[in-house]
Structure 1
Amino acid sequence: MKIPTNVITGFLGTGKTTAILNLLQEKPAGERWAVLVNEFGEIGIDGAMLTDQGALIKEVPGGCMCCAAGVPMSVAITALLRTKPDRLIVEPTGLGHAHKVLATLSSSQFQDHIDLRATIGLVDPRNLSNDKYLHNQNFTDQLAISDIVIGNKVDQCHVSDIDTFNDWVTDQTPPKIFSQLVKQGRFPIELLDSPRRDSAPSKVVAQHHHEHAELEPQFALEPNQTYLRKENQGQGYFSCGWIFGAEVTFEFNDLFSLLSDITAERVKGVMNTTNGCFAFNVSNGVVSVNEMSLEGFESRLEVIDSQPLPWDQLEDLLKQIANLNK
């Protein structure tokens, strides 16, 4: 039996992971879903957030999972398909080339195993009038291949942003099969069963060059190691991530203040704090916090920006908040 499969794409900070979390909460009782997550940073954050919802998770951190002849992605997909899930969701990195992801999913290797359905693209309507995004090839490509476009974070938009989104949707050729303005990434679960557009454009993606991690790297702390740090760069972006041992606890208020002050384009973390385990998500200067039920979990934090930040200084502040000795 073929597994119904959807790609949920969108640029940094559009709310892809939040949308998938919502879908997992609404999935039919008794169904087992699998999620393939790709992150630009070396430290996997989204997988930790999604695991809390009981999904089968496979992560390919450290760059574009579609590169290196698609080997990391193909290996991860095969591993998930062997578990015979009722549905597969693929979340490419916001800096990735979703065309290649679709090409792999629809290739002869998987054509007898995957029922590829509508690609859903999330966009922050405010970005549709910002040249920084409109001139980014990944941003425009992700929206071009989306059969369905969801304008997320409408509660943070002005009327002009909503008008821009509606005008953009109207101008699309071929037309999208569905579009909707939502908040907090909530859209009808029934959209997952929408078919792909027959007229969806096939497009050759230009060669791109950036650093890649090895196949599905797994970073582990040594017995006497309290934390470790990993960095990545490519496509004009830089990331730095940390893993802290499960024994490390961050003072909640100080951590919240620190994350609020970081002027990076993207900040994500799942952190053990004095108030419990929480997922932190920072986008456009807004810090979102969600309580997690994880126990004995290693804290993870990832920061992504278009320029290198003072990583050493940030690391020192994190250690101070956790009362770690230098």
Structure 2
Amino acid sequence: MGLKDNPERFHGLLKRLGKAAVALVASAATLAGGMLVAGTAQAAAGPGYYANPMSGSAAGGWWVGTGSFFLGPQDDSKPYKYCVEFSNPYDWQNQGTWTPVDTDDGKKAAYLVDKYQNDGDALTQAALAYAIHDHFDRNQAWWNEAKTKMTLVGGDINAVRNRAATIWAEANDMPSTIQASYRYMQGKRKGTFDPGIKTGDGRWVAGATYTITDLNKVAKFDGSNDYTITGTTTGAEEHLPWTATGNGKTNFQITRKIPRVAVSNSSSQDLLKPTDPETQSANIQFEVRRDFQPTVTTEVNSRELKRGETVQDKSTKDPLHNVTGPFIWR
């Protein structure tokens, strides 16, 4: 849509652009079918780079003025928000409605946005914004042309492009599945437990926070002396020791929080930002025993007897024969 077709929107855009861009906006607005693109409306942008002026012919034409497109978080407030609509200016007062994105790309973006939320490196944040444009931009025709023409103030677009590819590939390392397992170490009284948090292709994950609880309360974790323990994966199989406090079947529940992102739908620039996380859980059950019942065994020397012979046998019993009731491991 051309700016001249929407005077109110054009007026708002003029107010938000820097002085250096105003002359370009005024001239560009007289051209039919084009759009002047603004990537940020605030002076206090997050870490990243401004783009130099550029223009293109895709989808009716577009123009970017000095200081009117920013590659990085769209302001410096947390959580960081990223542009997903190259064709519209950012209006922090009108962000519309937000919808969670639970697609495969949405999960990857959520993992990366969460991972780099506190990273203030300009190259990293510009690269993450670049990758988000690649996978979520509403107008791929404009974005695909713009990224071939883009140069940056104080930054190298090739370095950003390469870093964006590297960052997006990192999403292959995100936690995906829970494949919990257990081992007995001393009968069924003691053992170890592994929450089994892995990538989609079965590799161990480092840095994933988890909580494990025995809902049946028959086994406590030695590390917390409680039926619940929290921890962070190390990138290898975990060996969390447990001890039975009763007899029966455990019900170990493993839970972890999964980051999510949402995208906005507004009359100004649509954005992507973190939203409430999702809870992933899995359960595993196995038998444990805190005590045992002593037994008596008898062994005979022969099952055939001659006339007049007496039966000889060997009996084995617990020496504490006067103790009644089950024996308890200590």
More helix by share: 1
Larger Rg: 2
- Range into which the TM-score falls when normalised by the shorter chain: under 0.3
Q: TM-score, normalised by structure 1?
A: 0.21
Structure with more strand by fraction: 2
